[in-house]
Amino acid sequence: MYMIIVEEANTRGPESPIEIEEVNSLDKALAIVNKFAEQYLSDPDNQCIIKLMPTSIF
């Protein structure tokens, strides 16, 4: 399982994430990452941080 956390890059201090999703496969996780990457690449003034993490290492 993988967790994707999308946060705004231009904020100071703790902010609520834009989106948090947990998916079962790496393919689904990468599809979500690509969706946000395309969205934010089209608007250079609006930046985000995308974190892709496994929920378990075992």
Q: Residue 2 pLDDT more than 80?
A: yes
Label residue 29 exposed, middle or buried (CB < 10 Å: 0-12, 13-18, 19+): buried
pLDDT of residue 14: 66
> How do residues 7-46 score in pLDDT, each as one tens digit?
887 766 667 788 899 999 999 999 999 998 888 887 777 7
Who wins on pLDDT, 4 or 48? 4
The answer to whether residues 20 and 5 touch, using CB atoms and an 8 Å cutoff, is yes
Domain borders along the chain are 2-54
Element (H, E) at 37: helix 26-41
Cα→Cα distances 46→23, 24, 40, Å: 26, 29, 6
Query: Which of the four pLDDT bands, split at 50, 70 and 90, describes residue 58?
Result: low
